[in-house]
């Protein structure tokens, strides 16, 4: 700014000083809350992205990005797609991303955990994001074991899918059977169910070819790996979500 004085005896003389400075780095986040919603227990969610922007006038230096708080181990920073890493920098008006995933360890609400980014931004050197989600699960049982049958006659078993208390399961559960003996077929009706918030069932039917000797051979179901028993031991039932 100019300064007025009487330099050299001249009233009204002006002197000027040029002032310069550097605008410090800053940091803003695309969101401060990530809720992953429902996710199957022990399964990994799709990634949710948080973008950090530096609207300041100088380079932002990121010291660390870490997750802490309640159920912190259920949440993770994904390696793929994450560019806001420890020791990284963000140029003025540039951005970097953090991809987050959720793998619930138990049924029910999980979190709230906190993602904390530490840097040299002004006016605050920490930025935080709240992380939460809900773990969901289901159980499978055969409440009524199927009756014995002879070769050539079908065996049916009703399979019951129940939700963990207080949860909903919006994803489809698809069934298949394998490890069947020769001349045996398996069908499931319906082959895929969506539990939602209630108990649902599917019916497994096992059919074997008749004994070629003409002597019926009883086929007594043995307790299998599912709760409730009733599936013949050689058979294996698989499900996926």
Render pLDDT for 205-216 as a digit per residue (tens, 0 to 9): 888 776 544 444
Write down the pLDDT at residue 231.
Answer: 37
Which comes out higher in pLDDT, residue 236 or 13?
A: 13
pTM: 0.65
Task: Return the structure tokens found at 3.
Answer: 């300064």
Write down the pLDDT at residue 7.
Answer: 64
Write down the pLDDT at residue 213.
Answer: 47
**Cross-strand bridge partners of residue 171:** none
pLDDT higher than threshold 60 for residue 236: no
Write down the pLDDT at residue 46.
Answer: 92
Starting at the edge strand that comes first in sequence, how are the strands of the sheet with 89-90 ordered? 33-40, 126-136, 108-119, 60-69, 89-90
Q: What is the rounded CA–CA span in Å between residue 195 and residue 203?
A: 15
Write down the pLDDT at residue 127.
Answer: 96
Which comes out higher in pLDDT, residue 232 or 192?
A: 192
Q: Assign 4 a pLDDT band (cuts: 50, 70, 90).
A: low
Alpha carbon 187 to its chain's center? 32
Q: Assign 191 a pLDDT band (cuts: 50, 70, 90).
A: confident
Over residues 83-106, the pLDDT tens digits come to 999 999 999 999 999 999 999 999
Task: Return the structure tokens found at 40.
Answer: 């199957």
> Going by C-beta distance under 8 Å and a sequence separation of 6 or more, which residues neighbour residue 88?
62, 96
Over residues 34-82, the pLDDT tens digits come to 999 888 888 899 999 999 999 999 999 999 999 999 999 999 999 999 9
């Amino acid at each position: 700014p100019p300064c007025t004085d009487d330099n050299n005896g001249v009233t009204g003389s002006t002197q000027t000083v040029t002032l310069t400075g550097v605008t410090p780095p800053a940091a803003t986040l695309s969101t401060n809350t990530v809720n992953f919603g429902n996710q199957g227990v022990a399964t990994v969610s799709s990634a949710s992205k948080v973008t950090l922007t530096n609207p300041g006038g100088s380079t932002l230096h990121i010291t660390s990005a870490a997750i802490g708080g309640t159920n912190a181990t259920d949440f993770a920073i994904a390696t793929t797609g994450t560019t806001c890493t420890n020791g990284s920098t963000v140029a003025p008006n540039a951005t970097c991303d953090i991809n987050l995933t959720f793998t619930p360890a138990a049924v029910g609400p999980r979190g709230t955990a906190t993602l904390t980014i530490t840097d040299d931004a002004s006016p605050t050197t920490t930025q935080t994001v709240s992380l939460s989600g809900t773990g969901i699960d289901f159980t499978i049982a055969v409440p009524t074991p199927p009756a014995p049958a002879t070769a050539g006659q079908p065996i049916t078993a009703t399979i019951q899918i129940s939700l963990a208390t207080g949860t909903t399961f919006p994803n489809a559960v698809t069934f298949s059977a394998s490890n069947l003996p020769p001349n045996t077929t398996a069908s499931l009706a319906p082959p895929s169910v969506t539990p939602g918030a209630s108990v649902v069932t599917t019916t497994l039917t096992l059919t074997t070819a008749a004994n070629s000797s003409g002597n019926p051979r009883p086929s007594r179901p043995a307790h299998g790996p599912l709760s409730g028993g009733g599936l013949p031991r050689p058979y294996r039932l698989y499900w996926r979500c």
